[in-house]
Amino acid sequence: MRSPIDRAAVERLTAQRAAKLRARSPRSRALFERARLVMPQGVPSSFQAVEPHPIYIERGLGSRITDVDGNEYLDCHNGFGAIVAGHGNPVIARAIAAAAATGTQFAAPSLASVEVAEELARRFRLPRVRFTNSGTEATLDAIRLARAFTGKDVILKIEGSYHGHHGAVMVSVHPPLELAGPRAEPRPVPFSDGLLAGEVARTVPIPFNDADHLRRLLEARRDVAALIVEPIMMNIGIVMPEPGYLAALRELTARHGVVLIYDEVKTAITIAAGGGVEHFGVVPDLVCVAKAVGGGTPLGAVIGSAEIMELIATSRVKQLGTFNGNALAMAAARATLLEVMDGAAYARLERADAYLRAKLDAIIDRHGLPAYTVGLRAKGCVVFSDRPIVDYRSWAMYLEEDLNRLAWLYHLTSGVYMTPGGDEQWNLALTHTERDLDAFADAFEEFARDVTRSA
Ligand code: PMP
């Protein structure tokens, strides 16, 4: 089918919507000008930088946030998915307030740390847990454990995936195709200046959804310590594993003595109580979690087999951190895991995903957009492509980036706050109502009408 997209309109509408965004956010603009004198790009993390300027947020409650200009948004960003119960959830807020009043930091173990560890072990079907303060620290510790356990150096990662900002994984995140080498043998491409060349060379990218590639590679080399993989790729929109793919990874890594690490920083407790482990039923050797498990506080964890985590028990691997098991984080995580994110919560997220995607699918159909939806409970996106995206190369080649960006601008200027950039889109929370999701779909329909010749 010929795409009905009006290409000239896309450019015009993008300029119009960017102007609208600027007009409704003068205080954010002023704060941006002030902020960039003290913070590079005017933001605390480069992932928060966005054109024409970031929106500076003042507060949030339930499904809503308010910016410094007084604009209220339906929040579908939810702190990059760290918020799954809604802002200011009363159970979590009470737990944090109680911890704040009785001591926030001891750098000593507590009852709550034991309870949170037990619950993570139960959900992710692996018996041992250590806490970190972020997803980055979780993947760093997991990779160190894998190297210590195997006595090998090389890390395999999926081309296109992001696993945090330490050197071993800042490789082939979104590599320019002209630098990435042939698909049959992707080349490691540094994601930042300042990395050690020797470290970059020890991280080998492989394509997602291609178990044969891994089979050939593991038959050819003996220096591989670990494969780190998101059970569902979530930094190039959302790419589901093909049936049998994760089981094949499990079988191949076990056969070749390679540690299989799931990066569940995004999927943990958002797509299922026990993330990808529960959803697909394939258990790796180590699982990295962060984001939503902290109930809005900075928390991560490595969850692993007794055999590998024994390296920490015997002090051969040092797993450390002043704030590991911090009282605020433990209180928030305990409330989130044991009191809020129960069976009813997952049923609610499942209904919300089905409701929203049915509406978006109908709009895509009605206007003939080159797009499709993918979603699972809290996580979802519209993929702007008329071909299925199965890995990084297909995403880099077929994603219609200009439509992706314009849809983002429509949402933002219609009062729906979304994650910046093309990597991910919506994060649903328990507080989203059908009316909220109707508002999301209405903004999308306006976009669909305006960019197609059906206007
Ligand atoms: N792994 C994945 C899959 C992520 O999406 C992220 C963050 N976007 C990280 C690791 C790093 O987590 P953090 O930002 O907490 O360091």
Smallest CA separation from ligand 1 atom 10, residue: 163
Which H or E element spans position 437? helix 434-451
| Mutation to probe ligand 1, out of 46, 47, 133, 266 (largest number of atoms < 8 A from CB) | 266
Q: Is 225 helix (H, G, I), strand (E, B) or coil?
A: strand
Per-residue pLDDT of 291-310, as tens digits, reads 999 999 999 999 999 999 99
Smallest CA separation from ligand 1 atom 1, residue: 163
Bridge partners (DSSP) of residue 131 are 301
pLDDT range class, residue 46, cuts 50, 70, 90: very high
- CATH class assigned to 90-340: alpha beta
- How many other C-beta atoms are found inside a 10 Å radius of the C-beta of residue 259? 27
Domain 7-75+343-453 superfamily per CATH: Aspartate Aminotransferase, domain 1 (3.90.1150.10)
- 393-to-211, 263, 331, 399 alpha-carbon distances in Å: 16, 20, 42, 10
What does pTM read for this prediction? 0.98
Residues of the chain within CATH 3.90.1150.10 domain(s) are 7-75+343-453
State how far the Cα of 130 lies from the Cα of 320, in Å rounded to an integer: 9
Q: Write out the two tokens for 348.
A: 């609610």
Q: Scan for tokens 């590998």, then name that residue.
A: 308
Whole-number average pLDDT of the chain: 97
Q: Write out the two tokens for 118.
A: 């037990």
In the annotation, is 162 catalytic?
A: yes
The mean per-residue pLDDT over the stretch 197-206 comes to: 97
pLDDT range class, residue 455, cuts 50, 70, 90: very low
Query: Taking the C-alpha atoms of 265, 112, 279 and 350 in order, what is their torsion angle to the nearest 10 degrees?
Result: -90
Residues 56, 73, 162, 262: which is the catalytic one?
162
Residues 152, 291, 359, 379: which is the catalytic one?
291
pLDDT > 90: percent of the chain: 96
Distance 164 CA to ligand 1 centre (A): 5
Cβ–ligand 1 distance for 230 under 6 Å, the answer: yes
> Counting beta carbons within 10 angstroms of the beta carbon of residue 196, is it exposed (0 to 12), middle (13 to 18) or buried (19 or more)?
exposed
Per-residue pLDDT of 220-266, as tens digits, reads 999 999 999 999 999 999 999 999 999 999 999 999 999 999 999 99
Residue 2: predicted pLDDT:
55
Residues of the chain within CATH 3.40.640.10 domain(s) are 90-340
- Measured at the CA of 252, the angle between CA 251 and CA 256, to 5 degrees, comes to 120
State how far the Cα of 73 lies from the Cα of 433, in Å rounded to an integer: 14
* φ and ψ at residue 364, rounded to 5 degrees: -60, -45
Per-residue pLDDT of 107-148, as tens digits, reads 999 999 999 999 999 999 999 999 999 999 999 999 999 999
Cβ–ligand 1 distance for 140 under 6 Å, the answer: no
